[in-house]
Amino acid sequence: MEFSALIRTASREAHTDVGSSSFMTDLLGGRLGVAAYRRYSEQLWFVYRALESPADALAADPVAGPFLRPELARMAELERDLAHLGGPDWRTGLTALPATTAYAARVAECARDWPAGYVAHHYTRYMGDLSGGQYVRDTAEKTWGFDRKGDGVRFYVFESIGNPAAFKREYRALLDALPVDDLEKQRVVEECKRAYALNAGSSRSWPRSSGSAPEAPTRLSALLKAQHQPSLFWAYFRGSSASMTA
């Protein structure tokens, strides 16, 4: 089995746990107000700061370096979204929840001490953004009225990636060619599981604040209602089986 397929298979249960938190279920089901989406985006800022700050230091690393594609970088777009959601002073009072702090700290630790572990976190975040993240964008646009691919959802818009399916194939090829031995690959698989667990812990701690919104009548909602059916719920969080195997 190719390493990229092994990662997907081995971490499937952990990945599903991320989306099964009540906060994420309600957020992605369109049942929370835009303030909850803003809080969610604020917590992502801490995680992506940890992911992207070490990019220059890791650029020449033989393990992590090939994955640091500039077209994946999200911080500029995320900060533009946060300015749209919170105004020019959006940084005022910005605070990481304890679970988010733990998540970001682990990403930073791997970036500093273990490049292969950093790859695990890179994979879980960016491939998720390219896949299931597009359903988050679709839901946000329909539920809270953001312009299509505009301010508020730019984090999920990869303007420099013209063919996401081809890009994901290239990314999986990098995983398959990861220059580490089998024991290290198993450690990477375990770190992927840990990344999903940290993400799940963070999502469970996010406050369900500031009102509710009508549930968006999208296929996302239908999938969320079917969360007790693992195959459907997993397909949603992988962005659909077609997108992941393209």
**Angle at CA 160, nearest 5°, toward 62 and 132?**
85
Return the pLDDT at 224. 37
DSSP at 32: S
* pLDDT band of 233, cuts 50, 70, 90: very low
With both helix axes pointing from N to C terminus, report the angle between 34-52 and 98-113 in degrees, rounded to the nearest 10.
Answer: 20
> Can you give the pTM of this predicted structure?
0.84
Binding site for heme b: residue ranges? 8, 15, 123, 172
Binding site: residue ranges? 8, 15, 123, 172
Q: What is the pLDDT of residues 173-186, one digit of tens each?
A: 999 999 999 999 99
Over pLDDT 90: what percentage of the chain?
Answer: 70
Cα 146 to Cα 154: distance, rounded to the nearest angstrom: 10
Cα 5 to Cα 17: distance, rounded to the nearest angstrom: 19
Domains and their CATH numbers in the chain: 3-240 (1.20.910.10)
